[in-house]
Amino acid sequence: MFNIHDPYLFEDELAEDDRMIMEAAREYCQANLEPRALRGNQDEIFDPEIPKEMADMGLLGASIAEEYGGGGASQTAYGLIAREVERVDSGYRSFMSVQSSLVMVPIEKFGTEEQKKQYLPKLASAEMIGCFGLTEPDHGSDPSSMVTRAVPTDGGWVLNGAKTWITNSPIADVAIVWAKVKEEEEDVIRGFIVETSWKGVSTPHIKDKMSLRASETGELVFQDVFVPETHMFPDIRGLKGPFTCLNSARYGIAWGTVGAAEFCYERSRTYVGERKQFGHPLAANQLPQTKLANMLTDITTMQLLAWRLGQLRDAGKVDPAMISLAKRHNVGKALDIARVARDMHGGNGVTGDYRVIHHVINLESVNTYEGTYDIHGLILGREITGIQAFVPKG
Amino acid sequence: MQHARVLNSGKIQNEWTSIWHIQTEAFFLYSDMSQDRTILVCAKETPDTYSDLSFSGGSVQFSNPRPVLNAYDASALEEALVLSEAHGFRVHVVMIGPEKASETLRKALAMGADEATLLTDAPKDADSAVIAKILAAFVEQFGPDAVIMGRQSQDTDVGLAGGMLADHLQWPWTTNAIGIRFEQEAFWVKRQGDSAQEWIDSPMPCLITCSNNLNDPRIPTLKGIMASKKKPMHIVAIDSLPGGDALSTLAPSTTIESLTPMPERAAGELVEGDLETLVEALMKGLGSIPETGVGS
Ligand SMILES: Cc1cc2nc3c(=O)[nH]c(=O)nc-3n(C[C@H](O)[C@H](O)[C@H](O)COP(=O)(O)OP(=O)(O)OC[C@H]3O[C@@H](n4cnc5c(N)ncnc54)[C@H](O)[C@@H]3O)c2cc1C
């Protein structure tokens, strides 16, 4: 029988653990997150209970080692969780991605044993919330030109600068901050673990966001902040540091957007089946049918890309360009699907109740953050042609 | 055998344990059964009846191809886990199903059950009577202090297996539980009647069938799922149970003759017009109700 949710039956191919984790995450998200999504978005509420609930379910740091409080699950499982969370709201998935991929991953990969012991269990249990500071007001797609800087002082560093568009910053206890330091006359990007309660750190909230409204976004401002030596990542240098984290989060986005697209497709399918115009269900017309056919075809490509990418990550065979390809393709397709779904709902498509416009507007952010659609196109273009086109040659 | 057992008496319990081990040598060994009292939860895997269904060629297909843990049994398991947390019962789950049902059974372990047994190679088209006989053979061999199970399965809604099993075991049976307490070495079962609730004192060993209004079954956590891999799951062919040869060839006493979608409700009639027309139509409608149905 043709499965109209999973046409190529990829869920059958998952390992039993991964499938069980997917089903548990689905049950949690549908029972506990879905009922909060509409109001959360309209009223810009990120329910402070959500981190604790996700932690109790084991959804924070799912693929971090168990000895540090993580779940010890596969990369595929992490992706499947992102799909379930984003089926409800990309904002909730943003919280989960930042905590897991952008904060726990760098501490696990680059941190000292003390740093891992001090922070990972508390991040896994949501006793602490984390954020990730790379983007600056004048340096987005080109983070290598950042101006935030740390200079050496007795026992550590003095940090100055500002980061913006930082998911979770207003509610964060700890921030992973990327800043320049001078090493042998050269500027090198290094990573620091900065607690937001330290003197000189402020985290103003960014007001009036029209997208990802249930996700807290703010700035990170550092004025002569003393960072002890113990809070620098000891060995990682250059953009490899932040890009390792971003690769993990972008991979999660490739999966997450599958969930958002599936939601919009499902809602449209139900809607055109029930809504009658000209005496017949909308679903009886050719245009709605082919729109649904296009959606399902795109969703199938998205599912298979994400699933295969998960396998490659689990096998340790991933190249960052593979992640760029999936992030770019899946977000782009999810956005197309959400926009068509909005249209198929007619006037109801602009109301919160049906929640398709909620996904349209969320996916606009997802298309931009973690490397814009076009920047990932340029990454692929460089791989394909061997010529970088980020810096115009004029 | 069970009735002779005195709880909390190490001596008798040990005696009993050794009998148990002799009996099960050719079968399989449960881990450390002697330590705790055990609740056995009987669980079934069913189609996901919440997914879309379609009928073709006399069979029904569900849009979710993966079976689920019967919701009533999930409630029974949840209650067993709560009792276990408060009173230290071991929770063992038994399921009759094909080998691939082990994934559904693993969900029970992920929720927190200690151990599970999958009874495979059930006779074809097993009905409630067959299921109850197989479960009775298992319970008699296993000797739990209580059996807790769903009052029915969510796909067929038949609801016979529990009662038939209690009858085979000659155990006290309490139906439609919406609350279970364990006090003074007995289960206190709150059951829901039509318009009242009653508390029933059910001495061990006993059988309780549960409503799905009993509780909200927990969702397995990621840690629970990972831990479930390390918990014992025994896969046992039915013909290796005591009396297994007879069990594995039991014939169902009922057969399903046909399976059809629920008949659609006839469309109502929309009456429009002024008050007089409406009243007239109403009177006409009332007139078509049989005398006996109108009441006095
Ligand atoms: C809701 C939200 C949450 C975020 N969370 C975080 C976070 O937690 N941490 C963090 O560090 N950052 C975060 N960001 C920042 C995000 O990563 C950046 O917005 C993104 O990288 C783009 O940078 P920018 O906004 O400065 O846009 P710009 O870099 O100014 O880009 C503007 C446009 O120009 C295009 N463009 C740029 N360069 C080129 C080029 N060379 N050739 C062709 N086109 C080009 C881009 O594709 C884009 O369309 C978040 C952003 C949003 C919206």
CB contacts, 8 Å: B222 with chain A = 21, 24, 57-59, 62, 71, 73, 77
Does A370 qualify as catalytic in the annotation?
yes
Interface residue B222 vs chain A (CB under 8 A): yes
Cβ-defined contact of A24 to B63 (cutoff 8 Å): no
More confident residue, B76 or B66: B76
B/e letters for B91-101, b = 16+ CB within 10 Å, e = fewer, are bbbbbbbeeeb
The single-letter code of the amino acid at A321 is: A
User: What band does B289 get if pLDDT is binned at 50, 70 and 90?
Assistant: low
Strand pairing partners for A186?
A: A183
Q: What percent of chain B has pLDDT over 70?
A: 85
B/e letters for A306-335, b = 16+ CB within 10 Å, e = fewer, are bbebbbbbbeeebeeebbbbbbbbbbbbbb
Inform me whether the pLDDT recorded for A268 exceeds 80: yes
**What is the topology classification, in CATH, of domain A131-231?**
Butyryl-CoA Dehydrogenase, subunit A; domain 2 (2.40.110)
* Residue B63 pLDDT: 82
> Which CATH class, in words, describes the domain spanning A240-385?
mainly alpha
Of A195, A176, A196, the C-alpha closest to A249 is A176
Instruction: Report the relative pairing of strands A276-277 and A280-281 from DSSP bridges.
Output: antiparallel
The single-letter code of the amino acid at B49 is: T
Inform me whether the pLDDT recorded for A212 exceeds 80: yes
Query: Which residue has a Cα nearest atom 38 of ligand 1?
Result: A141
Residue among A34, A185, A370, A383 flagged as catalytic: A370
Which of A4, A11, A16 lies closest to B63 in CB terms?
A: A4
Which of A23, A57, A72 lies closest to B221 in CB terms?
A: A57
- In this predicted complex, what is the ipTM? 0.94
CB contacts, 8 Å: B219 with chain A = 24, 27-28, 31, 57
Q: What percent of chain A has pLDDT over 70?
A: 100
pLDDT per position as a tens digit, B71-125: 999 999 999 999 999 999 999 999 999 999 999 999 999 999 999 999 999 999 9
- Pocket perturbation via mutation, ligand 1, pick of A165, A196, A206 by most ligand atoms within 8 A of CB: A165
B180, B187 contact by CB (below 8 A): yes
Which atom of ligand 1 lies at the shortest distance from residue A143's CA? 21
- The CATH number linked to B191 is 3.40.50.620
* Residue B288 pLDDT: 66
More confident residue, B274 or B270: B274
- Counting Cβ atoms within 10 Å, is residue A184 exposed (0-12), middle (13-18) or buried (19+)? exposed
Question: d(Cα A300, Cα A5) in Å, to the nearest integer?
Answer: 9
Dihedral sign, CA of A115, A117, A122, A125?
positive
> Which CATH class, in words, describes the domain spanning A10-129?
mainly alpha
**In chain A, where are the structural domains located?**
10-129, 131-231, 240-385
Of B146, B187, B200, the C-alpha closest to B169 is B146
Residue B179 lies in a domain: yes
Mean pLDDT over B253-276 rounds to 86
Mean pLDDT over A189-218 rounds to 98
User: What band does B269 get if pLDDT is binned at 50, 70 and 90?
Assistant: confident
More confident residue, B281 or A353: A353
- In chain B, what is the greatest distance between 2 CA atoms, to the nearest angstrom? 86
User: What band does B59 get if pLDDT is binned at 50, 70 and 90?
Assistant: confident
DSSP strands (E only) in chain A: 130-133, 149-153, 156-167, 174-183, 186-195, 201-202, 217-228, 276-277, 280-281
The single-letter code of the amino acid at A324 is: S
Q: What integer best gives the mean pLDDT of chain B?
A: 85
Range of the domain at B80: 2-247
Domain count of chain B? 1
- Counting Cβ atoms within 10 Å, is residue B72 exposed (0-12), middle (13-18) or buried (19+)? buried
- Pocket perturbation via mutation, ligand 1, pick of A100, A132, A176, A375 by most ligand atoms within 8 A of CB: A375
Residue B175 lies in a domain: yes
Residue B257 lies in a domain: no
Question: d(Cα B234, Cα B34) in Å, to the nearest integer?
Answer: 18
Question: d(Cα A132, Cα B19) in Å, to the nearest integer?
Answer: 62
Q: What percent of chain A has pLDDT over 90?
A: 99
More confident residue, A298 or B192: A298
Cβ-defined contact of B222 to A27 (cutoff 8 Å): no
pLDDT per position as a tens digit, B211-225: 999 999 999 999 999
* Residue A236 pLDDT: 97
Inform me whether the pLDDT recorded for B267 exceeds 90: no
Residues at CB less than 6 angstroms from ligand 1: A 98, 132-135, 140-141, 165-167, 212, 217, 365, 368-370, 372, 374-375, 378, 390
Mean pLDDT over B31-59 rounds to 81
Mutate to test the interface with B, among A13, A14, A20 (most CBs of B within 10 A): A20
Of A292, A381, A279, the C-alpha closest to A344 is A292
Q: What integer best gives the mean pLDDT of chain A?
A: 97
Unique residue bearing structure tokens 């680059």: A110
Cβ-defined contact of A28 to B219 (cutoff 8 Å): yes
User: What band does B64 get if pLDDT is binned at 50, 70 and 90?
Assistant: confident
Cβ-defined contact of B61 to A1 (cutoff 8 Å): yes
User: What band does A205 get if pLDDT is binned at 50, 70 and 90?
Assistant: very high
